[in-house]
Amino acid sequence: MQRPIGNNSIIPSALFFLIVGASWISVQGQSLPPARYDGFTYTNHRVDADTIMIEAFFNPLCPDSRDSWPPLKQALKHYGSRLSLVIHLLPLPYHDNAFAASRALHIVNMVNKDATFQLLEWFFQNQKRFYNAQTLNMSRVAVVDEIVKSATQALGNSFYHVLESGFNDRKTDQKTRISFKYSTSKGVFGTPFFYVNGFLLPDVGSPLDYSGWKRLIDSLLRAQGLKTEEPMHYLL
C-alpha cells in the first residue's frame, strides 16, 4: 500500500536538513588549533620521559596565585631539570583588569620570554593597584595606560613601545583569549589550579606550600626509581 504524502513525510526530511545544516555551520565556525601550545615555559632545558611536567593556571591579579608562586619557584630551583613548568593564564572575569594584565604578559612574551616571569612577579607584587576597588573610577583606557607605564618602569624603557603597540595588536588579544579557552577546556574555573603529568592535583584553588610540593615530587621520583635525598642542582 502506498504511503500517503503529507506533513508526516515532510517533517523527518526537514529535521534531517536542519541537523546537517547545523553541523555544517558548527564545523565551518570552529577555530583551528593555535599555532603553538598555550602557556609560558619557565625554564629552557631538555624534557624527557622522566621529566615531571607541571602546568600551573594563574591569574596575575589573584592573591592565591600570588601566594602559590614562591613555594613553586622554590621547588623548581631545588629539583632543577627534573621539573618542567608551563604557566597558563586564566583572567577571571570578576577581576576587572585581569584580561588586560594577562594581555600585557602575552605582549612581553612575544618579544622577550625572559622578561615574562619578571613581569608576572611584578604584577603579583603590585596587585592592589589594579584591584576592582582601586580602579573603580578609571576607564579601561586609563587602566591599560597605567599598566603600560608601570610595566615599563619595571622592565625598562625599551618595553614602552612594545607594550603600547601590543595593546593595539589584535594578535595579543587573540592569544589572551586562547589562554582563557584552553584553561576552561581543562575544567579550570579558578586560580591557582595545578596539573602534574597531565592529572589535576587535589585541593585545587589553594596555594601549595613548599613542603607539599616536596612530598609530591619526592613520591614521583621514588616511583621512577630515583633518589630524593639530595637537591637536583647538578642536573641543571
Can you give the pLDDT of all 236 residues of the chain as single tens digits?
Answer: 444 444 444 444 444 333 334 333 333 444 668 888 999 999 876 678 889 999 999 999 999 999 999 999 999 999 999 999 999 999 999 999 999 999 999 999 999 999 999 999 999 999 999 999 999 999 999 999 999 999 999 999 999 999 999 999 999 999 999 999 999 999 999 999 999 999 999 877 777 899 999 999 999 999 998 766 544 443 33
C-alpha cell at 158: 625599551
Distance (Å, rounded) from C-alpha 18 to C-alpha 12? 10
- What's the rounded Cα separation, in Å, for the pair 193 and 203? 9
**CATH architecture, domain defined by 40-223:** 3-Layer(aba) Sandwich (3.40)
Q: Which residue is listed with cell 612530598?
A: 215
Rounded CA gap, 42 and 73, in Å? Answer: 9
Helices 170-185 and 98-111 cross at an angle (nearest 10°) of 110
Inter-CA distances, 105 with 60, 91, 93, Å: 9, 11, 17
Strand order in the sheet with 199-200: 40-41, 83-89, 52-58, 193-196, 199-200
Answer positive or negative: Cα dihedral of 18, 21, 22, 23: positive
The Cα–Cα gap between 77 and 43 comes to 10
Q: Give alpha helix (H) positions in the chain.
A: 7-29, 63-79, 98-111, 113-125, 140-155, 159-166, 170-185, 210-223
Residue 143 grid coordinates: 587602566
- The model's pTM is 0.81
